[in-house]
Copies of this chain bind each other. A is one copy, B any other.
Amino acid sequence: MIKIAILGFGVVGSGVYEIIRKNEKNITKKTGGQQVDIKYILDLRDFPDHEEQGLFTKSYDDILHDPEVSIVVEVMGGLTPAYEYSKAALAAGKNVITSNKELVAEHGTELMALAKEQNVNYLFEASVGGGIPIIRPLNQCLAANEIEEIYGILNGTTNYILTKMVTEGADFAGALSEAQRLGYAERNPEADVEGYDACRKIAILASLATGKYVNWRFVPTEGITKITRSDVAFAEKFDAVIKLIGFAKIAEDGMVNIRVCPMVISKTHQLSDVNDVFNAILVKGDSIGDVMFYGRGAGKLPTASAVVADIIDAAKHIHINKFITWKKSEKDIMADPGAAVMRFFVRADSEAVIKDFAGAEDLGHEGGEWFFVTDEMKEADFVAALDGRGSFIRVLS
């Protein structure tokens, strides 16, 4: 019997409870015969209507000092006290499972090292892509590959908004309101629409792929708040859609070109069909070529099912570290973003601008703005040539 404690009884925490109760038999089979049982649920709030009142506690010490608890499930979110709790649990020789991308992106290096030291595991499948299996495939299934590139649609809220703008001609504000009404976007949508959520996720994936900590603070990040209906309409003329993409390209020397930004994507590209709240992540390995993982990137049960998969894995490796780790690193692994070569979708202030871009494809004009797509060029050269005479969106090649 494996005893676990759930920290935080919010959306994901209650989903974890639900799945463990519902699929108990199946879970026991998957661990090789060990039953997984919930001993505590930590939450400061009361849940007077819950049928298992005996599980709830407001004291983390109860959990930390109970030697029976071998797995702590941190689904509180935020850095404090999730960080302190996770660290204390690992130091006490307990496995920690999390869905907390903010914490993994900030303190993952330290927590994984501590887990290794203690011969336990710090697992975080649910931190990226919700229920989509990506952390384990990247770490295990693609282990024989040198990862060259990872890119994808990592945030469901922004993908929902952009899908509405493309398919229904909504503007950003209208699509955001609709997303909020449906519960896909929070009242304060900044973390999603400004790209901060996607930024944490691509930083985690890049860290795993390179084996070195990619600090999310160094990831140039732009959200989708400036995308207009005209952008969407002119992208359509280019037979393309606009998506918020996180990408990391890893050069042979290990340098990482990483960014979160809206991108223009040809309709022939697999990612162009990933709509609504779905996520998809493409990984390019030297042996395997392109593989794509697609599914629901958020939501109570999808995310909780990824957490429970980690619980099962930890139950099978209670005192065996699984070597998920990356090393400390500073800005020295970050490639110059200006050196990236791609095409650019431009919204220019005047008709004259296009003449400065040899080989550009004219898309037409509207309301005093001229739209065109450049040939492939270095970002630094492009920015210098545009010289502030308009705005632009990068094109995914």
Contacts and interface: CB of A to CB of B under 8 A. Distances in A.
Interface of A: 15, 19, 23, 26-27, 29-32, 125, 131-133, 136-137, 139-146, 211, 270, 273, 285-296, 299, 301-302, 304-309, 311-313, 316, 320-323
A193 to B, nearest CB: 24
A288 B270 contact: no
20 contacts: A15-B287, A19-B144, A19-B287, A26-B143, A26-B146, A30-B323, A31-B323, A125-B141, A131-B288, A137-B137, A137-B141, A140-B312, A143-B309, A144-B306, A144-B307, A144-B308, A270-B294, A287-B301, A288-B301, A291-B293
B291 A145 contact: no
Contact of A313 (B19, B32, B140, B313): B140
Given A291-B294, A323-B316, A305 B23 contact: no
A309 to B, nearest CB: 5
A254 to B, nearest CB: 12
Contacts of A137: 133, 136-137, 141
Nearest to A31: B323
A112 to B, nearest CB: 13
Contacts of A30: 139, 143, 323
A137 B320 CA distance: 20
B23 A145 contact: yes
B301 A290 contact: no
Contacts of A288: 131, 295-296, 301-302, 305-306
A252 to B, nearest CB: 13
Given A133-B137, A323-B316, A144 B309 contact: yes
A302 B287 contact: yes
Contacts of A296: 288-291
A136 B145 contact: no
A273 B273 CA distance: 9
Nearest to A307: B144
A167 to B, nearest CB: 12
A146 B30 CA distance: 11
Nearest to A294: B292
